[in-house]
């Protein structure tokens, strides 16, 4: 299954199918049919929602959806964390709704990063039902108590009586989750590989046609620090062709520290890998961004083993990684270090301990808005405030 996923991913991000191997090209007719059926199903689902045959549930608090048009590597979860932290810092308790996909690695990472804040995390495929349970358990704030005449937070919101009440919902991977109504739609775009071959899954990486950008209120191009200015300009222009008024921001992952597997509470500085031999091991949507980030930290040599997004490491994977580590040790004469992402660590921290005696460290990073043409973190959060106030200014 892992090999098939890699083949499908290669096809999805290859513009010229003539460059594919004969084996990969043999899969094109099957993937084309599957993509057509997916398009028909998507259109039918959109029709059923449009004419009210499928209903959308409206929550009594603002809902901010963070989603994307393509599979994996777009920075959805870091943006969810960014927004939840911003809301909590503003005195508004956020509820994050996530599917808990692939064992809940993203939910565990969010829980650790937001520990000590007023954030709550609800896990379940039926996000509306999960939200209803949390709202019933914790209560909720009247949005007009903090979205009022341009005022974001007042003393009423911060009062002890309101402590812990949910003030807003952040919907993780919500762009295609149409059963829950939302007030803001933030679409994340992977700057390193934005649209692939422009085909719908599984022939391409698109979960919806590009026209779906018309539903977005804000777009954020992620990994923008790893992309040329011309490429960023091209991505922005393509989105503006679909929706001219769409505000576009740029973001990056900013590394903060490492922690060693088995000792998560001890922060290790980034310069520990300077002049080291490093093996990057990841099962994420954008392995290239992860590897490029490690290369910029000054390692002497960087090698890599990539798995598909959300892949759970198995015994045979550990054996393959050990073979690569011993090869690197034999080549350079001293032990390499393994670097994984936090998401990989949270998926199954126990199995990574089987790479002993080689050291395994996880890289911790946070999303940052990159200042660009008067677009900054403050401008971004102010825009979110304004859009929420506009949505809730009328009767609900």
Got the DSSP string for 324-383?
HHHHHHHHHSS--EEEEEHHHHHH-HHHHGGGTTS-EEEEEEEEEEEPBTTB-HHHHHHH
- Residue 68 pLDDT more than 60? yes
pLDDT at 101: 67
For 305, the domain range is 255-366
Sign (positive/negative) of CA torsion 298, 303, 307, 312? negative
Verify that 127 and 208 share a domain, yes or no.
Answer: yes
* Torsion angle of C-alpha atoms 134, 140, 146, 149, degrees rounded to 10: 110
Helix or strand or coil: residue 94?
strand
Span 279-298, pLDDT tens digits: 999 999 889 999 999 999 99
- Residue 253 pLDDT more than 90? yes
- Give the chain's domain count: 2
Give me the CATH number covering residue 334. Answer: 3.40.50
Verify that 104 and 201 share a domain, yes or no.
Answer: yes
Span 364-389, pLDDT tens digits: 999 999 998 888 999 999 999 999 98
Verify that 91 and 159 share a domain, yes or no.
Answer: yes
- Residue 396 pLDDT more than 70? no
User: Residue 183's closest CA among 379, 389, 45, 383?
Assistant: 389
153 confidence band (pLDDT: 50, 70, 90): low
100 within a domain of the structure (yes/no): yes
Last-in-domain residue among 218, 246, 274: 246
37 within a domain of the structure (yes/no): no
pLDDT at 319: 96
Q: How far apart are the first and last CA of the chain?
A: 47
pLDDT at 161: 55
Give me the CATH number covering residue 67. Answer: 3.40.50.300
* CA 345/CA 337 separation, integer angstroms: 15
pLDDT at 159: 58
What average pLDDT does the segment 262-288 reach? 93
- Residue 250 pLDDT more than 90? yes
| pTM listed for this prediction | 0.92
Which residue is listed with tokens 């290790």? Answer: 268
Verify that 197 and 316 share a domain, yes or no.
Answer: no
Tell me the sheet residues that pair with 35: none
140 confidence band (pLDDT: 50, 70, 90): very high
- Residue 48 pLDDT more than 60? yes
Higher pLDDT, residue 390 or 304: 304
pLDDT at 180: 93
pLDDT at 146: 75
* CA 337/CA 297 separation, integer angstroms: 14
What average pLDDT does the segment 300-305 reach? 97
Span 163-179, pLDDT tens digits: 689 999 999 999 999 99
- Residue 202 pLDDT more than 90? yes
Helix or strand or coil: residue 238?
helix
392 within a domain of the structure (yes/no): no
For residue 171, what are the contacts with CB-CB under 8 A and spacing of at least 6? 63, 64, 65, 66, 67, 97, 127, 177, 180, 182
What average pLDDT does the segment 239-262 reach? 95
Beta pairing, strands 63-68 & 120-123 = unpaired
Verify that 241 and 136 share a domain, yes or no.
Answer: yes
Q: Considering the chain, what percentage of its residues have pLDDT values greater than 70?
A: 94
- Residue 29 pLDDT more than 50? yes
pLDDT at 152: 59
Verify that 85 and 227 share a domain, yes or no.
Answer: yes
Span 313-356, pLDDT tens digits: 999 999 999 999 999 999 999 999 999 999 999 988 889 999 99
Verify that 202 and 351 share a domain, yes or no.
Answer: no
159 within a domain of the structure (yes/no): yes
pLDDT at 149: 47
Verify that 194 and 314 share a domain, yes or no.
Answer: no
What average pLDDT does the segment 5-15 reach? 88
Verify that 219 and 266 share a domain, yes or no.
Answer: no
Which residue is listed with tokens 């890289």? Answer: 363
Q: Mean pLDDT, the chain, as a whole number?
A: 91
Span 80-105, pLDDT tens digits: 999 999 999 988 999 999 987 655 78
pLDDT at 117: 92
pLDDT at 228: 95
Which of 47-56, 110-119, 202-211 comes out lowest in average pLDDT? 47-56
What average pLDDT does the segment 300-312 reach? 93
Verify that 154 and 275 share a domain, yes or no.
Answer: no
* CA 209/CA 213 separation, integer angstroms: 8
């Amino acid at each position: 299954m892992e090999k098939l996923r890699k083949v499908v991913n290669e096809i999805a991000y290859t513009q010229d199918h003539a460059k594919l191997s004969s084996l990969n090209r043999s899969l094109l007719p099957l993937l084309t049919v599957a993509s057509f059926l997916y398009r028909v199903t998507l259109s039918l689902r959109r029709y059923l929602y449009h004419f009210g045959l499928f209903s959308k549930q409206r929550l009594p608090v603002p809902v901010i959806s963070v989603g994307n048009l393509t599979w994996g590597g777009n920075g959805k979860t870091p943006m969810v964390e960014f927004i939840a932290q911003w809301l909590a810092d503003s005195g508004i308790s956020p509820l994050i709704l996530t599917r808990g996909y692939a064992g809940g690695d993203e939910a565990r990472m969010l829980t650790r990063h937001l520990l000590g804040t007023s954030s709550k995390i609800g896990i379940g495929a039926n996000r509306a039902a999960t939200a209803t349970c949390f709202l019933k358990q914790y209560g909720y704030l009247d949005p007009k108590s903090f979205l009022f005449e341009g005022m974001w937070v007042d003393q009423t919101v911060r009062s002890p009586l309101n402590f812990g009440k949910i003030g807003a919902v952040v919907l993780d991977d919500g762009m295609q989750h149409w059963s829950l109504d939302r007030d803001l739609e933030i679409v994340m775009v992977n700057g390193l590989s934005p649209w692939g071959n422009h085909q719908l899954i599984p022939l391409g990486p698109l979960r919806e046609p590009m026209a779906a950008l018309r539903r977005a209120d804000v777009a954020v191009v992620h990994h923008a620090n790893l992309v040329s200015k011309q490429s960023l300009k091209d991505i922005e222009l393509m989105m503006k062709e679909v929706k001219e008024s769409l505000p576009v921001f740029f973001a990056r992952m900013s590394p903060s520290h490492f922690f060693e597997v088995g000792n998560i509470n001890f922060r290790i500085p980034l310069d520990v890998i300077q002049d080291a031999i490093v093996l990057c091991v990841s099962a994420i949507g954008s392995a290239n961004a992860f590897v490029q980030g490690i290369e910029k930290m000054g390692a002497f040599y960087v090698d890599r083993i990539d798995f598909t997004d959300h892949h759970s490491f198995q015994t045979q994977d550990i054996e393959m990684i050990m073979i690569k580590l011993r090869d690197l040790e034999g080549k350079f004469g001293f032990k390499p270090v393994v670097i994984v992402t936090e998401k990989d660590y949270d998926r199954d921290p126990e199995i990574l301990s089987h790479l002993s005696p080689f050291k395994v460290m996880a890289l911790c990073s946070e999303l940052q808005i990159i200042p660009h043409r008067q677009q900054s973190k403050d401008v971004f959060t102010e825009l979110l405030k304004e859009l929420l106030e506009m949505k809730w200014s009328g009767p609900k």
